[in-house]
Amino acid sequence: MFTDSDIAKKMSCGETKSMYVINYGLAPYYRCQLERKLKNQPFVLMFDETLNKEMQQKQLDIIVRHWNDNIVQSSYYTSEFLGHACAVDLVHSFENTVETKLGFANLVQLAMDGPNVNWSTFDNLQKKLEKEHKHQLLNIGSCGLHQLHRMGSIPQYVGNAQTV
């Protein structure tokens, strides 16, 4: 892979070393780059909870969607491991991971799947933003991607006007 370097030719990397390089070297670097990029621009917070079979805990994956050189880009931000989580726990997790680094002032939408706990999370986060930042999240349904995609491909009629 690195034919021009004698040092790199001799490098070997097993599973454990690769994990450490990614988790403690590459991941913090790219997360820092992403945080720097998003510090003063609007972004969408997307999240999904799933059971991590190996750890037998609920895993909360957090992704941010943002503008990057005139295209919309979705970037993995982080994951948290939760026990049984209710809406208050999810908002607390967002406060600890997203708000401390990115802030909520530029948060414009929360994208999620549809379970009730997620709608409760949306309501709790909405109240927090209204109180602390004097703005509200866009509410275009639980999954913004599908709603906006549908709106772009199927003409919607409002009164006598057609919108696409």
Q: What are the pLDDT digits (tens) for 101-122?
A: 888 888 888 888 766 677 888 8
Q: Which residues contact 139 (CB under 8 A, 6 or more apart)?
A: 109, 122
Neighbour tally for 36: CB within 10 Å:
10
**Smallest Cα–Cα separation from 129: which of 156, 84, 91, 161?**
91
Cα 17 from Cα 24, distance rounded (Å): 10
Which residues partner with 163 through β-bridges?
A: 156
pLDDT at 151: 45
Structure tokens at 124: 């709790």
Q: For residue 50, give every residue at least 6 positions away whose Cβ sits within 8 Å of its Cβ, in sequence order, or none.
A: 58, 59, 61
Q: Supply the pTM of this predicted model.
A: 0.69
Residue 42's pLDDT is what? 92
Q: What is the mean pLDDT of residues 128-149?
A: 73
- Ordered by start, the domain boundaries in the chain are 1-38, 39-163
Q: What architecture is domain 39-163?
A: 2-Layer Sandwich (3.30)
The answer on pLDDT for 123 being more than 50 is: yes
